[in-house]
Amino acid sequence: MADIATREEYGLEFSHIHWNLKAPALYEEAIKRGEAKVSANGPLIVDTGQFTGRSPNDKFIVKDEYTENLVDWGAVNQSMDSDAFANMHAGIRAFMQDRDVFVQDLYVGSDEGYQIPVRIITQYAWHSLFARNMLIRQAPPDSPGLYTVIDMPGFRANPDRHGSATSTCVAMNLKERLVLIANTEYAGEIKKSLFSIMNFELPSKGVMPMHCSANHDEDGKVAVFFGLSGTGKTTLSADQSRTLIGDDEHGWSNAGVFNFEGGCYAKIINITPESEPEIYATTQRFGTILENIGFDDDTRTTDFTDASKTENTRAAYPISHIPNASKTGLAGHPSDIIFLTADAFGVLPPISKLTRDQALYHFLSGYTAKVAGTERGVTEPTATFSTCFGEPFLPLKPSSYAELLGRKIDQHDVRVWLVNTGWTGGAYATGERMKLSYTRAMLKAAIDGELDDVPTEQHPIFGLEMPTHCPGVPSHLLNPRNTWQNKSAYDKQALDLAKMFKENFNKFQSDVSKDIILAGPNLETILN
């Protein structure tokens, strides 16, 4: 139970505090409050209300003497002044009075040298379980640097008083080490605000923060997988033959790779025991939270094919639910980096090896494509570029992360691969999705060194080196142009995509070397 000083510090003098409850007690509290239901197999079933994903336009960082010259201000990192943040904090403190609140003391970062202790204060019991699932479940070390997240879905921000854009707001005060979350039931805002903090804190310590999954083989050889939602980052890292380090957020220090988190947040739309056996097994276990899925109230059974609420259905579970997960969250330096993209235009090769400069070009580009049905209003393939595969979570200038990654690649002689898990034989609706078994075979061959001496051919527009054969994969698939019946249609589509890459990369022209710029698509050769 919190002492009087702690209660006053957080504005909880008259609140009923549930301190560090474990999963069974949080289940009871969530059910008692009508926040959740229990499925027949044990997971907690929740609905995240209006928001089924993050609300990036409602995220703000306090601009003060501490952050003014550090944060890369703009559309991604919107500024809020200190007085507006103080007003919002006062409003949330008043809101918490006479209410039940749930507190978890946890930390972010498996490497003790770079851990950040965090205190998560939530209005909902299931949000407290989410935090407990996703973060590292030990008492934070007795060290300075505690960050606090106050998550109150029932509090509505006032744009006039609080400097927000709407009644929903995620506001970070990096000087005070305080995050305020208002008017959203999407618990992922807790997780991602802490990732933003790690992206702010670690680069100055020589640690590369990465939006990636990671695993290693029995010899300790590490592979990291960058990729946006829907590219296979979680699926491909959950390989039964390898040890999972983590599925989403890692740091790369002078000692190696370490997981930021203690849990996984997997996308589960259409999941089956055959397609993703390890992740599917977590959806049948006590302690897992299942968000926005199909659910039968009478039988208490789940329907993972139901996308009526959202395509972004999720499972949040402790990483210990994965049988081959790392016990420490620590590993050595990567031998391989994989950039995953789901190219819905059917242009990019299923696997290609990148030079260092190409690696930094594609890292800064962070390309994938949305397909029809994944978001309201998306009726045809749409290119998406998310800088460093995590643009919404980067408080610093993107080039600073690219420079740090480049130094790590050079220092440890890391191989870098671009892997397209998207379409082949045509664009979305005319081609077909690359088979998962083929992607797994290509990744295995790349990581095991079986592609190192394989002859390659160069993509004429993107300059990518494409292997001419790979064990377990039909050779004609390795050059995407070969899979299209209409070759001229492929050439036009490839040129169109290259133009999108070029247009997106214009914003980095003054921040990166000429070699990195030239590592992108070669439009001049084609147009001339």
- List active site positions: 54, 192, 211, 229, 233-234, 248, 314
User: How far is it, in rounded angstroms, from Cα 250 to Cα 260?
Assistant: 5
**Token output for 222:** 């590490």
Q: Could you write out the DSSP letters of every residue in 181-227? A: EES---THHHHHHHHHHHHHHSGGGT-EEEEEEEEE-TT--EEEEE-
User: How far is it, in rounded angstroms, from Cα 401 to Cα 439?
Assistant: 28
Q: Write the CA distances from 177 to 95, 154, 164, 192, 465, integer angstroms.
A: 20, 22, 19, 15, 45
Minimal CA–CA distance to 483: which of 422, 432, 428? Answer: 432
The dihedral sign for the CA sequence 181, 182, 185, 186 = negative
Largest distance between two CA atoms of the chain: 74
SS3 19: strand
Q: Could you write out the DSSP letters of every residue in 422-482? A: SEESSSTTTSEEPPHHHHHHHHHHHHTTTTTTS-EEE-TTT--EEES-BTTB-GGGSSGGG
SS3 233: helix
E strand or H helix at 398: helix 398-412
Q: What is the dihedral of CA 231, 235, 236, 240, to 10 degrees?
A: 180
User: How far is it, in rounded angstroms, from Cα 421 to Cα 346?
Assistant: 10
SS3 122: strand
- The 8-class DSSP code of residue 330 comes to B
E strand or H helix at 108: strand 100-108
**In sequence order, what are the residues at sequence separation of 6 or more whose Cβ sits closer than 8 angstroms to the Cβ of residue 367?**
341, 343, 383, 384, 385, 501, 504
Minimal CA–CA distance to 62: which of 178, 148, 186? Answer: 178
User: How far is it, in rounded angstroms, from Cα 391 to Cα 365?
Assistant: 10
Q: Which residue shows structure tokens 């040890």?
A: 243
